[in-house]
Amino acid sequence: MELVYPPVILSCKALFRVLDLRLDLRGTEHVPTSGGAVLACTHVSYLDFVFCGLAALPARRRARFMAKQQIFANRIAGPLMRGMRHISVDRSAGQASYREAVAALRGGEVVGVFPEATISRSFTVKPIKTGAVRMAAEAEVPVIPVTVWGSQRLWTKGHPRNLTQRHVPVLIRVGEPFRPAPGDDPEVLTKDLRSRMSALLDTAQREYPEVPPPGEAPFWLPAHLGGSAPTPEAAAETENPETGAAGGR
């Protein structure tokens, strides 16, 4: 019996109503009503796991997200994360969390992952890790690309959170699933996944209903769309100044 997840969902929905967020969710028919699946989501804000999780609700599924160990250590968030059966990731010993995720997938769970590992300061899709496609191939379940756009206006890296801002449009798009097979090249699969995630994000950005006035360059828009967010190259340099690239696998 789920004792923690349902009231957390209700609380989040109540907050959305208070803020009068303009949620626009499309493509949920791609989430299977039974069996395991990997939700591979873009990452532009600290709230993306909440919005990505909404993508599974129409199919009456509850996603189990892989999240960094520090969140589980928090005295408030930790019990909630464990109660919702999310998966703790210790980056110094990632194999244990990987095995836990594969077991959850084989057990019929929907597992949510952020293949970029950290928030994209450029609001484009960063280079992604191979874990999402490898665990899907091992568990023989589909990967479903997801994007969230607009959530960065509420709370993102390098900017103060603004959870009192009302009427913010948040677009959630779910793409068509694809099923990696054991023996497939994970690098090729990961390149395909990144292309799918980028296409979804591009679509959400084009469909976003708010356009800044001429001459204004808001922080929440990527540079290539006229915003003041750093370019992917500048963001990578900020994250890893020695190599000019953001992390490894």
What is the DSSP track for 121-160? TTSSPPP--SHHHHHHHHHT--EEEEEEESGGGTS-TTS-
| Residue 222 belongs to some domain of the structure | no
Q: Does residue 81 form part of some domain?
A: yes
For residue 120, the SS3 value is coil
Tokens of 246: 């953001």
The DSSP 8-state label assigned to residue 155 in this structure reads S
pTM for this model (two decimals): 0.94
Distance CA 154, CA 170 (A): 10
Q: For every one of its 249 residues, what pLDDT tens digit does the chain have, with 9 covering 90 and above?
A: 899 999 999 999 999 999 999 999 999 999 999 999 999 999 999 999 999 999 999 999 999 999 999 999 999 999 999 999 999 998 777 799 999 999 999 999 999 999 999 999 999 999 999 999 999 999 999 999 999 999 999 999 999 999 999 999 999 999 999 999 999 999 999 999 999 999 999 999 999 999 999 999 999 999 999 999 999 999 999 887 543 333 333
Cα angle 201-147-240, degrees, rounded to a multiple of 5: 75
CATH of the domain at 105: 3.40.1130.10
Full domain range(s) for residue 112: 5-215
Do the strands 110-113 and 63-68 form a parallel or antiparallel pair, or are they unpaired?
Answer: parallel
